[in-house]
Amino acid sequence: MSSAGSLPAAGESIRRHSRSFSFASRLLPAGKRAEVERLYAWCRWCDDGVDTAASPHEARQFVDRAMQDVHRIAAGEEPVESESRWLAHLVGRHDIPLEAALALLEGMRSDLTPAAGFDEAALLRYCFQVAGAVGVLMCPILGLDDRRFLPHAAALGMGMQLTNIARDVAEDWRRSRCYLPVEWTDGLRPDDEPPDPERVRQGVRGILEAADSFYAAGEAGIHGLDPDSRLAVRAAARIYHAIGTRIRQRDCRVLDERARVSKLGKLRLFMLAMLAGPGRGRRTTLDGAAARALNTAEQFLRAYGVSCVGHP
């Protein structure tokens, strides 16, 4: 596979687009951090290729090209798009489940079609595609060698995406998108008028409640990672979860101000993550909601052809 060295520094992408991930990634050893940054840069390139396309037709063409490159990489061939070399580099070093990369691209393609009846099932499928799949792609880099933990990784990514959705309702609405399920918001869908604040708050409460269960399912599997990866992942999870706490403190009023966690707040969460310890071999009993969240993540993995059986 080609070297990724001729591409722009992947670390710049994560620093520019995600302060929380950038903060957490600094807790990784240098080698793993560089590879996580490459994966993030590839995911960001995919996202930007859809969002900045001149038309839906051009966006679909971009997704098709990116998917074709994933298939080329899976076949051991050189990708056509230069940015795909970030992913090719990782596949050359790790057993990356490329089915998850295709799921991510399918999720991005789905954004190009207005969803008139976007319901809870569609929400969870979308969260798996655009974020749960990323957690799965990251696992080999972070030292996961037991595929039975992949549903935990997918669940954690889904929890983070649910938090993103709750935080970004106003921004999404301006782009004619709304990921709040119709059955949670009395049929709220994007139009030319500002969204009804009470229906948004109602939907955001449901989103955050669902996110809690996915975070619990995700954190229960962190001990499956390499010891030197656990702190970074736990810190990232708790920083994102804290965004949901901030939203709740504002009574789920997300239309006027974007919720953030301060640098001091991130440092406090980092210290709490440290106090949680390495968690070697720890087995956590999940409550009913978290167990259902984990089962949902596992079902999506199976649907997209990602094996969760034993060691890779």
What are the extents of the domains in the chain?
Answer: 10-303
Give the chain's largest Cα–Cα span: 52
Q: Residue 64 pLDDT > 70, yes or no?
A: yes
Looking at the chain, the number of H-run helices and the number of E-run strands are 14, 0
Q: What is the pTM of this model?
A: 0.90
Higher pLDDT, residue 275 or 118: 118
Neighbours of 310 (CB within 10 A): 9
Instruction: Report domain 10-303's class.
Output: mainly alpha
Reported as a pLDDT band with limits 50, 70 and 90, residue 260 is: confident
Q: What digits encode the pLDDT tens for the residues 193-232?
A: 999 999 999 999 999 999 999 999 999 999 999 999 999 9
Q: What is the mean pLDDT of residues 13-26?
A: 59
- How many angstroms separate the CA atoms of 293 and 19, rounded? 27
Is residue 279 predicted with pLDDT exceeding 60? Answer: no
Site of tokens 């709220």? 188
What is residue 267's predicted lDDT score, i.e. its pLDDT? 65
Distances (CA, A) of 34 to 9, 27, 86, 222: 9, 12, 11, 20
Confidence of residue 241 (pLDDT cuts 50, 70, 90): very high
Question: Residue 106: is it exposed, middle or buried by C-beta count within 10 angstroms (0-12/13-18/19+)?
Answer: middle
Among residues 268, 276, 214, 266, the alpha carbon closest in space to that of 21 is found at: 266
111 CA to centre of own chain: 15
SS3 274: helix
3-state per-residue secondary structure call for 84-100? HHHHHHHHCCCCCCHHH
Q: Residue 6: pLDDT above 80?
A: no
Q: Give the model's pLDDT for residue 213.
A: 98
CB proximity list for 256: less than 8 A, separation 6 or greater: 170
Query: Which tens digit of pLDDT belongs to each residue from 247-259?
Result: 999 999 999 888 8
